[in-house]
Structure 1
Amino acid sequence: MTVSLSRCCWSAALWLSAAAPLLAQSAPAQSDFHRWAPAPPMGWNSWDCYGPTVTETEVRANADYMARHLKPFGWEYVVVDIRWYVGNDTAHGYNERDPAWNIDAYGRFVPAPNRFPSAAGGQGFKPLADYLHSKGLKLGIHLMRGVPVVAVQRRLPVLGTQVTAADIYSPEGQAGWLRDMYTVVAGRPGAQAYYNSLFQLYAGWGVDFVKVDDLSSPYHRAEVEMIRRAIDSCGRPIVLSTSPGETPIGEARHVQQHANMWRTVGDFWDSWEQLKEHFAVCQRWAPYSRPGAYPDADMLPLGRIGIRAERGDDRRTRFSRDEQLTLMTLWSIFRSPLMFGGDLPSNDPFTLALLTNREVLAVNQRSTHNRQLFRRDDLVAWTADDPQTGDKFLAVFNAQDQQLAPSAEAAWASPVVTRQTPGQAVAVDVDLTGARRLYLNVRDGGDDIAWDHADWLSPTLLQHGQPVPLSSLTWQSADAGWGKVTVDKSVSGAELRVGGQAYAHGLGTHANSMIVYELPPGVTRFQATAGLDQAGAAQNTGGTVQFLVFTQNPYRPMPADSIRVPVRLAELGLSGPCTVRDLWSGKSVGTMTTGEFAPYVRRHGARLYRLSAVKKTTSKPKR
């Protein structure tokens, strides 16, 4: 299926109607802040491209592109992600260098002027916000929950109080993956005043959106409430996004009443495995979507990403075109916020078309009753309503994969390896007698962390009784999802380090991955240590992985390239003939009269349709 840039134009009234979408679920009364996001926010975020290193020049370049090409389609937020207050940051290894902090007299981080020159002289982000506002755009910034460690160490005063940062903090709950902040203890004198002072500062800069990290998983209820009060008292409508995920489903009602959007997953990258997991995640969270309060399926890692990012290298998205259509279709019918992660000026026509299809974006911005219709193995359908016309939206997905053999069929399988595993590693010793190929497989252990760095350490073959380093052979194939398998270093590019011990030789990879070798004659054993790399163990609760060794091809036969996904029109509430329009192509499919619609959908692909009931016409009686 092709994506056409020429679209059937919808009237301006359709877009204005996004200001008050109706949902089937009974919604509690809206607070004022819910009205600040009448539809899922749409924008650009610097994280997928630039990690913690984005500069003002790059922000402005992306804003200029948005103003020219995307603003007419509803895109408006430009979000500066993590650590804009550090002057010497680099991608990878947040805690491995002495940060060049930029902080004011009241313990509040300010932009690094070497990266954001317009912030010099105490101006903060106000000049950048003014620039965006002049283009009809809005500024967002990333925050870490809490009070800066450096503010505590320096005992900097809390604005408008007699206390210092050292009086309001606790080291309990400090994020393990970025140790810039301490917890602010609710109820202590000065705690609420500190958060109030932050948002007074941001309101003065003209900030329109904040993404607050280390707030959702684990869920910090008290600080969520302090942040809500601080925003409400700052005098400026600032949209609140909490991160990362998965936000505990038990806190759904609470976060719904305090934030405009909240993460449903950990960091999402261009990995099909992660994308496929979203079908279950979106089904779980769809009932909690409300006007002004949206479950957030995370960013869109599309276009050119990884320029200076935490995951992988400078690249075009690893999603196929079919997978990109699946991503945009699912995010749209789920009504997730849309935050594009690619470098906008590097967009190609296909990527631009994904972001400027008015009919698809209208599903995201104004549809109601959004829900999964069915999941039959890996064939999935979602539906939603058009509140203006009564038409039905139908999304159909083919998430079928080439299946892997179960772990019971492996020649060797480890238990799940976690941070709690002694040494965070297990010994591998496998009989290869008679084997012609070696398959080294790492699988996700089933947690909410996608930072699953894994190492095959000192991998050795015994050939005619003599040790042969596996790294001396060339693999037949090596697939590591969003990353690349590396030799003698971890997938993050650092040294191989597991359980506090460094290893000179090995293979760095992650879950999910497969490395395949042709075995030379005379090989009888494979020996190694398999472990969770330090780069993974340091992130939140760390990774959870399972290592497997196969000697027979573990891949099942490939499913068909395309398959019909039948949908009974009665399931959509349609009892008579209906016309069908393909929203991605902008073309009419025809009129359905058989009671079933069964489009072909490519593997890993999606289709999105509008179904309109054919109105019966009555003829006047002849005289």
Structure 2
Amino acid sequence: MKFLPQSVLAVAALACTATPTFAQTKPASKPDFHQWAATPPMGWNSWDCYGPTVTEAEVKANADYMAKNLQRSGWDYVVVDIRWYVGNDTAHGYNEKDPDWNIDQYGRFVPAPNRFPSAAGGKGFKPLADYMHSKGLKFGIHIMRGVPVIAVNRKLPILGSKATAADIYTKEGQGTWLRDMYTVVAGRPGAQEYYNSIFKLYASWGVDFVKVDDLSSPYHAPEVEMIRKAIDLTGRKIVLSTSPGETPISQAKHVQANANMWRTVGDFWDSWEQLKEHFEVCERWAPYIMTGAWPDADMLPMGRLGIRAERGDDRMTRFTHDEQFTLMTLWSIFRSPLMFGGDLPSNDAFTLAMLTNKEVLAMHRSSSNNRQLFRRNNLVAWTADDPKTGDKFLAVFNAQDQELAEEKDAVWNSGVITRSTPNQSKTAEIDITGANKLYLNVRNGGDDTSWDHADWLMPTLSNGSKSVSLTSIPWKAASAGWGKTTVNKSVSGGKLVVADKTYPEGIGTHANSIIEYDLPAGYTKLTTTVGLDKAAAGQNTGGTVQFLVFTKSPYQAAPLDSVAVKVNLAELGFTGPCTVRDLWAGKTVGTVTGEFAPYVRRHGAQLYRISKRGTTVPK
């Protein structure tokens, strides 16, 4: 651990900004921090491509790209995500064995100078923030809720208080997935002063945005309030983002009154299963969209991801082009903050075009009354108003999937497995006599796919006289609802561990998942143990999974590639002829009356502006 002296710096002067005009109601607050994010924040965050290992050079490279290619379109935040204070963190995970902490004498983490050279000599992030500001950009950081464990153990003093870190903490409520911090107990002498001290430090660096992790799920209202007060005391306009989710909807009014944005989901990656869940999530949170306080559907996992991320491999996004249109269309009409997760300098022309579409971003910036119009099975429509023209925005989605076969068609069914299941696993001995195909299917247990890490353990084919490990046979195809199906490792890249027992062989995957094999001839039996991986069992309420084995296709007939999504224009308030403009294509489609029924590709989306005929269509 590096223990670095850190002098108390003067709070940076406030940047002069114009006060925006509000079109929606906001709660009373002094000062009114909602004005600091009058439109949904847009920027880049290092998490999806660099995890806890991003360097200053990589941050600057992404900032340079943003300044050159995206700033004119409204993108301006550059955010350094988790553990910037650890000098020896590891890619695809965290170094929890011997982290090289960088902390000052008041128990406040400071940037690791081997990763951020400009921070050397006690300068902190000020030189990097100055670099952003010189380009007209804004600078943000990620922190963990609470007080550092290392500060508690060393009983480091709290600036502005007679208390030490050891006087303000409790182990109750400590995060289960990363144990760098302890909970700060509101009301204890020194508790508020601790939060005041860290935000005073961030303000002196010139920080414009702080994402506070382990704050929303479960929701820590006392610490939310201490953080709000500490930011206000700095006098600097620091946008507050809470993470991760889902934030309890029962706390919607509280988080609106204290934060600029809050997560509505857990970590979102390039998974269609997770994207499809957002239709329900966004509908649930749409009533709470408010100027200056934005429900956050999480980052945009587009472009090049996983370079050194906590999870996954170095790749271009697994989302198809159609799915990327769904992602950007839903986030934009829902008015979620837009935080891009890919490595910006690696962008292709398609990605850049999506991020700079003038008409789509104008809708995202200024539309109102954003809501789901209907959901007919998996055909979905959203709408919003243009308060300046009276036009309507219409987004239509085709979220149809190739439906799975019924459970009764499986040759074996584990039933639902949770962390309450004995040994968090089931064993199976399955007759596959005469089969030439094998499908290993993991489903989400009927709730959602959050933390549904699943393991097929020691899978073995036999015929009474010989046996072979299924892991030695290449599969024909393998999917995973999150991450990448992997032999002899969990889907998160670790060992195969179920109920604290480690298995040498198996397949790690994540609901919803199908692994397809062409079976070698002559085998009559499959034996395996199936279970909830340790990575899932330890998270919040744990995962909920169901394992099925099929010897015939686990799919029903595939839906059509494109279907018409029919919208009655009277539902939008139009009774006469209307002019329709395609916002993604940037062209006027024509005139329609009564019903509009565009064809939408499966997993795809279309976005339109509907105007009363005779009015000028904005371009």
- Return the offset for 1:590: 0.7
Give the corresponding residue for 1:492. Answer: 492
Q: Deviations over 1:212-254 (max 9, x none)?
A: 0000000001100110111111110100000000000100011
Give the corresponding residue for 1:138. Answer: 138
**Aligned partner letter, 2:444:** D
Give the corresponding residue for 1:9. Answer: none
Structure 2: distance between partners of 1:95 and 1:451: 21
Q: Deviations over 1:124-172 (max 9, x none)?
A: 1000000000000000100100000000000001111111000000000
Which SS does the other structure have where 2:280 is aligned? helix
Give the corresponding residue for 1:579. Answer: 579
Give the corresponding residue for 2:602. Answer: 603
**Aligned partner letter, 1:110:** V
Structure 2: distance between partners of 1:17 and 1:207: 19
Q: 1:512 and 2:512 equivalent?
A: yes
| TM-score, structure 2 as length reference | 0.94
Q: 1:396 and 2:396 equivalent?
A: yes
Structure 1: distance between partners of 2:21 and 2:340: 24
**Mean alpha-carbon deviation: is it higher for 413-422 or for 534-543?**
534-543
Which SS does the other structure have where 2:104 is aligned? coil
Q: 1:96 to 1:465 in 2, by over 3 A?
A: farther
Give the corresponding residue for 1:22. Answer: 23
Structure 2: distance between partners of 1:141 and 1:474: 43
**Contact 1:437 1:516 (8 Å CA) reproduced:** yes
**Aligned partner letter, 2:81:** D
**Aligned partner letter, 2:553:** N
Structure 2: distance between partners of 1:451 and 1:219: 18
Which SS does the other structure have where 2:439 is aligned? strand
Structure 2: distance between partners of 1:93 and 1:179: 13
- Return the offset for 1:428: 1.6
Identity %: 73
**Contact 2:482 2:511 (8 Å CA) reproduced:** no
**Aligned partner letter, 1:163:** A
Give the corresponding residue for 1:11. Answer: none
- Return the offset for 1:342: 0.6
Which SS does the other structure have where 2:259 is aligned? coil
- Return the offset for 1:413: 1.6
Which SS does the other structure have where 1:415 is aligned? strand
Structure 2: distance between partners of 1:105 and 1:18: 38
Give the corresponding residue for 2:169. Answer: 169
Q: 1:126 to 1:549 in 2, by over 3 A?
A: same
Residues 343-422 of structure 1 mapped to structure 2, 5 A cutoff: 343-422=343-422
Which SS does the other structure have where 1:352 is aligned? helix
Structure 2: distance between partners of 1:17 and 1:234: 20
**Contact 1:311 1:482 (8 Å CA) reproduced:** no
**Mean alpha-carbon deviation: is it higher for 40-49 or for 520-529?**
520-529
**Contact 1:456 1:530 (8 Å CA) reproduced:** yes
The answer for unaligned runs of 5 or more in structure 2 is 1-16
Structure 1: distance between partners of 2:232 and 2:108: 19
Structure 1: distance between partners of 2:285 and 2:530: 36
**Contact 1:581 1:609 (8 Å CA) reproduced:** yes
Residues 250-269 of structure 1 mapped to structure 2, 5 A cutoff: 250-269=250-269
**Aligned partner letter, 2:372:** Q
Which SS does the other structure have where 2:415 is aligned? coil
**Aligned partner letter, 2:228:** R
**Mean alpha-carbon deviation: is it higher for 412-421 or for 65-74?**
412-421
Which SS does the other structure have where 1:480 is aligned? coil
Structure 1: distance between partners of 2:579 and 2:19: 24
Give the corresponding residue for 1:323. Answer: 323
Structure 1: distance between partners of 2:540 and 2:153: 24
**Contact 1:18 1:365 (8 Å CA) reproduced:** no
Give the corresponding residue for 2:423. Answer: 423
Give the corresponding residue for 1:203. Answer: 203
Give the corresponding residue for 1:107. Answer: 107
- Return the offset for 1:96: 4.0
Q: Deviations over 1:347-394 (max 9, x none)?
A: 111000000011000111100010000000000000001111111100
| TM-score, structure 1 as length reference | 0.93
**Contact 1:266 1:448 (8 Å CA) reproduced:** no
Structure 2: distance between partners of 1:561 and 1:486: 30
**Aligned partner letter, 2:408:** A
Residues 451-462 of structure 1 mapped to structure 2, 5 A cutoff: 451-462=451-462
Structure 1: distance between partners of 2:505 and 2:80: 38
Structure 1: distance between partners of 2:19 and 2:126: 29
Give the corresponding residue for 1:612. Answer: 611
Structure 1: distance between partners of 2:251 and 2:19: 27
Q: 1:144 to 1:72 in 2, by over 3 A?
A: same
**Contact 1:464 1:522 (8 Å CA) reproduced:** no
Structure 1: distance between partners of 2:463 and 2:483: 31
Q: Deviations over 1:41-77 (max 9, x none)?
A: 0000000000000000000000000001111011010
**Aligned partner letter, 1:597:** F
The answer for unaligned runs of 5 or more in structure 1 is 1-15, 618-623
Which SS does the other structure have where 1:52 is aligned? helix
**Contact 1:454 1:510 (8 Å CA) reproduced:** yes
Structure 2: distance between partners of 1:66 and 1:496: 40
Which SS does the other structure have where 2:428 is aligned? strand
**Aligned partner letter, 2:596:** F
**Contact 1:49 1:343 (8 Å CA) reproduced:** yes
**Contact 2:22 2:291 (8 Å CA) reproduced:** yes
Structure 2: distance between partners of 1:313 and 1:229: 40
**Contact 1:20 1:291 (8 Å CA) reproduced:** no
Q: What is the alpha-carbon root mean square deviation over aligned residues?
A: 1.8
Structure 1: distance between partners of 2:407 and 2:251: 35
Q: Deviations over 1:178-211 (max 9, x none)?
A: 0000000001111001000011000000000000
**Contact 1:244 1:266 (8 Å CA) reproduced:** yes
**Aligned partner letter, 1:288:** Y
Q: Deviations over 1:518-576 (max 9, x none)?
A: 22333222111111222333444433222111122111111111111110110001111
Structure 1: distance between partners of 2:221 and 2:177: 20
Give the corresponding residue for 2:480. Answer: 480
Structure 1: distance between partners of 2:534 and 2:524: 31
- Return the offset for 1:446: 5.2
Give the corresponding residue for 1:335. Answer: 335
**Mean alpha-carbon deviation: is it higher for 479-488 or for 520-529?**
479-488
**Contact 2:299 2:339 (8 Å CA) reproduced:** yes
- Return the offset for 1:474: 2.2
Moved over 4 A (4+): 446-449
Residues 222-237 of structure 1 mapped to structure 2, 5 A cutoff: 222-237=222-237
Which SS does the other structure have where 1:61 is aligned? helix
- Return the offset for 1:21: 5.0
Structure 2: distance between partners of 1:343 and 1:610: 31
**Contact 1:18 1:366 (8 Å CA) reproduced:** no
**Contact 1:216 1:246 (8 Å CA) reproduced:** yes
